[in-house]
Amino acid sequence: MSPTFSVCIVVRDRPVLLVKAVESVLTNRFTDFEIMIVDDGSQIPVTDVLAEADVLFDSRIRVIRQPPTGIAPARNAGLRAAAGRYITVLDSDDELGPDALLHLDRLINSTGTRWVYADYEELYPSGSRKRIRLPEYPSAHGMLMGVLTRPRLPFKHSGTTIERKLLEEIGHYDESLHIFEDIELMLRALRAGVHPGTWRTRSSSSAATTATSPVTGWTAWGSGSR
């Protein structure tokens, strides 16, 4: 039977952060998930990293290792292999809160939404946290205008959950793009009339937390790290 969630992580050469990301998923109280990891050409194979951290024993972890292809093809490789009814995107330097999947499951079942983006927390080296509250929009068109005009994106792709059938309907990530593939996917969905739902989280149930550092987001991909 297919799991409810496939938590998809694409990584290249972030062993310590990857282990933290994987452990954050494994500690979720909701257990009907798989973790689909695409190792996009890491110098040290992800399987070796996870084995050393003693987390590879969990049968819900699946790893695809491939030569370096770039972020969009690597994301698509994970999507093609994923078995879950919903895809939860998690960047390799982010972590899920312990109740994230439980609350996502409840939200999906109660609202029928097919695409969810969520508030998140930024974690600083000092140990302090900053909650990022994302805007809500009454329509797909309203959010489309927000994405196109706001100085800061009104969504975070990491932590986003999308019905796998919906991704098949609108198409996967555009492999011609080396960066901003997540923004292009969102724009394509909004133009097709998809209206993402918003999940308001508490600190104990964040969809994703992210460690702030000088190298984040697309810059990390551009420099060869995931």
Per-residue pLDDT tens digits for 74-95: 999 999 999 999 999 999 999 9
Q: What is the pTM of this model?
A: 0.88
Written in H, E and C, the secondary structure of the chain is: CCCCEEEEEEECCCHHHHHHHHHHHHCCCCCCEEEEEEEECCCCCHHHHHHHCCCCCCCCEEEEEECCCCHHHHHHHHHHHCCCCEEEECCCCEECCCCHHHHHHHHHHHHCCCEEEECEEEECCCCCEEEECCCCCCCHHHHHHHHHHCCCCCCCCCCCEEEHHHHHHHCCCCCCCCCCHHHHHHHHHHHCCCCCEEECCCHHHCCCEEECCCCCHHHHHHCCCC
Q: List, for residues 170-193, the tens digit of each pLDDT value.
A: 999 999 999 999 999 999 999 999
Q: List, for residues 99-140, the tens digit of each pLDDT value.
A: 999 999 999 999 999 999 988 888 888 888 888 889 999 999
